[in-house]
């Protein structure tokens, strides 16, 4: 491709996950599916029925719903594939436009284990590679959201090995406005980038968002090529699009309008966090996170503001030394904003090269002794190395982040008991000792294809007549 297509003309082919997190749909389920040997045709047939059910909504469908999507979208599904899954379903990369190394090798590979500073991974239950002993190799990831009742046809255990990660909306505390909190009790899902041309609000909503954020609004606006393959990114370059053999739309490559998902199942040790809270107080817990419990940035005066207001702040001028939000706090490591470059402008520009669009949900897993809570983390990005892997390796897991030494992220870092966290200005000496608050149980890289590509994957390419799911018209709204 020499020219980027018009995003406004392609929204029918972009899966709705890139437009919205479906926050009005309170229940969610993540299906981790492994296709049994010899069952590839049945798997494609199930995918074809899923596409034909119109539950795989497009970004255009979400936009059409406008201000009250809950009145027209009561259930939504997104479908993604690991590299092993694409191969299993007969989609092989071309020699001229292969998939990038991180996706091809998989998050579950030994190479990515070292690069992501994840070793050891003895507790992992699943991943995206075939060779990891003791782990389910996931071929297909289905994200399902619904409100009143779920209609999606459940995968046949005779075709798939199924692992399910559930969200029970009654299990987690909510704000007064009904917004969900993660298991440690904090508002989540804030500080999301605005994809230029796709996620920007329209009319009164856009004016209100800009008014709430003021001069900081543009800090959030990121070029579409940072998240959607085939469009211009922050380097003003077309994001690379891999291709597969037998793809019938020669004018566009197979991955156009797709995105890569970095997925991790993160168990949260709520008891350990509560013990830490009792020992050190809520204020110190908020210092670890970098936000108040209601989601507003530390130092915010007054009641909770809008999501746009909650993202309208910088570090360099207002809090250069970390007296308000410590330099090693979770939100400061995951998005340093204006604090790492030589000046504010260059820092903001640099941070836009490493943004993630998060689509995770809290989950509750039942056990014989009760339950375990956590986050099913999903990050959409177009360049796994420059976005997810850079953030995870260089910021979250880096023991020398900024001016710190021998400390990683206090919440999701590989913190064995006894590691410390520095809080500038703390009367007790400036450091607190951490417990191990989280444990990663699995992870993988997945391709979220465009809807036409999804129909191609589901097509019966062995026969003379393709499945009806291979028609390229948009999914109905």
Note down pLDDT in tens along the chain; length 477 residues.
566 788 989 999 999 999 999 988 989 999 999 999 999 999 999 999 999 999 999 999 998 876 677 678 999 999 999 999 999 999 999 999 999 999 999 999 999 999 998 888 999 999 999 877 789 999 999 999 999 889 999 999 999 999 999 987 665 555 666 677 899 999 888 889 999 988 765 667 778 888 888 889 999 999 999 999 999 999 999 999 999 999 987 678 999 999 999 999 999 999 999 999 999 999 999 999 999 999 999 988 877 888 888 999 999 988 988 999 999 999 999 999 998 888 999 999 999 999 999 999 999 988 888 889 999 999 999 999 999 999 999 999 888 887 788 888 999 887 566 788 999 876 655 889 999 999 999 999 999 999 999 999 999 765 434 444 334 444 456
Contact at 8 Å (CB) between 446 and 378? no
Residue 62, domain member (yes or no): no
CA distance 138 to 136: 6
Residue 111, domain member (yes or no): no
Which residues, including other chains, have CB under 8 Å from residue 394's CB and lie 6 or more apart?
401
Angle at 322 between CA 319 and CA 327, to 5 degrees: 120
Sign of the Cα torsion 301, 303, 309, 310 reads: positive
382 alpha-carbon distance from chain centroid: 12
Question: 3-state class of 382 per DSSP?
Answer: coil
Residue 215, domain member (yes or no): no
Q: Which residue from 378, 460, 467 is spatially nearest to 107, judged by alpha carbons?
A: 378
Residue 316, domain member (yes or no): yes
Residue 206, domain member (yes or no): no
Q: Which residue from 325, 303, 338 is spatially nearest to 175, judged by alpha carbons?
A: 303
Residue 391, domain member (yes or no): yes
Residue 367, domain member (yes or no): yes
Domain that residue 358 falls in: 264-441
Residue 32, domain member (yes or no): no
CA distance 392 to 116: 6
Residue that is written with structure tokens 């830490």 in the block: 276
The answer for 103, left when phi > 0, alpha when psi is -120 to 50, beta otherwise, is: alpha
- What is the number of structural domains in the chain? 1
């Amino acid at each position: 491709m020499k020219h980027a297509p018009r995003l406004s003309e392609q929204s029918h082919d972009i899966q709705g996950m890139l437009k919205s997190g479906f926050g009005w749909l309170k229940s969610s389920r993540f299906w981790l599916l492994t296709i049994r040997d010899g069952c590839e045709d049945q798997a494609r047939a199930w995918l074809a029925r899923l596409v034909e059910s119109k539950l795989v909504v497009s970004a255009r469908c979400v936009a059409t719903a406008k201000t009250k999507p809950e009145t027209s979208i009561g259930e939504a599904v997104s479908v993604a594939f690991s590299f092993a899954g694409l191969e299993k379903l007969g989609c092989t990369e071309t020699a001229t436009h292969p998939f990038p190394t991180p996706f091809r090798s998989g998050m579950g590979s030994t190479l990515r284990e070292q690069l992501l500073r994840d070793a050891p991974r003895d507790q992992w239950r699943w991943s995206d590679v075939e060779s990891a002993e003791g782990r389910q190799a996931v071929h297909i990831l289905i994200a399902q959201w619904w409100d009143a009742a779920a209609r999606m046809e459940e995968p046949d255990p005779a075709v798939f090995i199924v692992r399910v990660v559930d969200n029970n909306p009654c299990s987690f505390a909510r704000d007064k406005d009904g917004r969900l909190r993660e298991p440690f009790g904090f508002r989540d899902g804030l500080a999301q980038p605005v994809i230029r041309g796709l996620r920007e609000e329209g009319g009164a909503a856009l004016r209100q968002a800009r008014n709430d954020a003021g001069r900081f609004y543009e800090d959030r606006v990121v070029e579409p090529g940072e998240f959607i393959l085939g469009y211009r990114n922050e380097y003003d370059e077309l994001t690379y699009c891999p291709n597969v053999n037998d793809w019938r739309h020669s004018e566009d490559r197979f991955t156009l309008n797709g995105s890569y998902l970095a997925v991790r199942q993160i168990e949260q040790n709520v008891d350990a966090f509560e013990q830490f809270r009792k020992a050190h107080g809520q204020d110190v817990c908020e210092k670890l996170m970098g936000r108040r419990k209601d989601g507003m940035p530390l130092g915010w005066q007054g009641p909770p503001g809008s999501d746009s207001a909650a993202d309208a702040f910088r570090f360099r001028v207002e809090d250069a030394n970390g007296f308000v939000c410590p330099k090693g706090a979770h939100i400061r490591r995951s998005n340093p904003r204006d604090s790492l470059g030589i000046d504010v402008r260059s820092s903001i520009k640099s941070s836009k090269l490493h943004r993630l669009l998060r689509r995770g949900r809290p989950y509750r897993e039942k056990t014989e002794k009760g339950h375990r809570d956590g986050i099913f983390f999903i990050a959409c990005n177009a360049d796994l190395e420059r976005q997810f892997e850079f953030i995870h390796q260089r910021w979250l897991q880096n023991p020398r982040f900024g001016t710190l030494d021998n400390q990683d992220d206090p919440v999701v870092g590989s913190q064995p008991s006894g590691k410390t966290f520095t809080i500038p200005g703390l009367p007790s000496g400036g450091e607190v000792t951490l417990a191990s608050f989280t444990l990663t149980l699995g992870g993988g890289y997945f391709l979220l294809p465009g809807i036409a590509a999804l129909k191609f994957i589901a097509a019966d390419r062995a026969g003379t007549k393709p499945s009806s799911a291979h028609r390229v018209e948009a999914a109905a709204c």
